[in-house]
Amino acid sequence: MQLGSNKADQNQTDLAMVNITACKGVTGCCPQTLLPEADWVKLMETWLSSAKVQERLAQRNALKSARAHKGLKIALSGCPNGCARHQVADLAVVGMMAPLFNEEACIACGVCVPECPDRALDLKNNRLIRQDHKCQGCFTCSGICPEEAFKPAIRQVGILAGGRLGRHPAWAREVARIESPEKAMQVISDLFEKFLSTSEPAARFGHWFQEQGKGGA
């Protein structure tokens, strides 16, 4: 496995089947990071090693024509800004902050409405309307409300899967939002094991996951 590079020109027996890209927030070098305290690169590498992900992917793909693009692209983004490009990764972890809304504290001033990058907030009939399905957990509203109506907020990790570029691009979809790093890794592990046990040997993870979308992965 490798961090942030691609060895697509290597030969079949030396293919890197796993590629991890981590943004600066994951190593604590960006103030925007919302990831819960944990060494995410280490957590991911521990899982990759214990589950023998690299070896099992290489073995499957050797049955057909192995190519590095059939490997697993993993992205770790410290916040929804997505500097690790988690939107086009096979598997991704994204730092989020889930705002808990206290309606009684809200004075319907509207300050938070234009500040939400995802247009998840609106003011109607002197009342704040939230569209939680649009919220990416960026923490902006929690930090800006003069009445602290969005506090406390909860640190979470978003698990996303199924993104890709290439000839038929697709955006990664959210699988879950979880508070505990250990549980987040378990979700990722379960997803990967399901992929191995239910897909064709030459299948790519991202394609498989998008097909599962109709029935839930």
What is the binding site for ligand SF4 (CB under 6 A)?
A: 23-25, 30, 32-33, 77-79, 81-83, 99, 106-112, 116-118, 120-121, 128, 135-141, 145, 147, 149
The minimum distance between CB 176 and ligand SF4, in angstroms, equals 17
Of 121 and 203, nearer to ligand SF4 (C-beta) is: 121
Q: Which amino acid is at 124?
A: K
Indicate the SS3 state at residue 46. Answer: helix
Of 66 and 97, nearer to ligand SF4 (C-beta) is: 97
The minimum distance between CB 119 and ligand SF4, in angstroms, equals 8
Q: Cα separations (Å) of 198 from 48, 53, 61, 133, 211?
A: 19, 16, 15, 30, 12
Tell me which residue has its CB nearest to ligand SF4: 25
Give the angle 133-184-81 at the CA atoms, nearest 5°.
50
Beta-carbon contacts of 59 under 8 Å, excluding residues fewer than 6 positions away, are none
The minimum distance between CB 50 and ligand SF4, in angstroms, equals 26
The minimum distance between CB 10 and ligand SF4, in angstroms, equals 29
Distance CA 164, CA 167 (A): 9
Q: Which two tokens stand for residue 55?
A: 């070896």
Of 53 and 92, nearer to ligand SF4 (C-beta) is: 92
Of 40 and 192, nearer to ligand SF4 (C-beta) is: 40
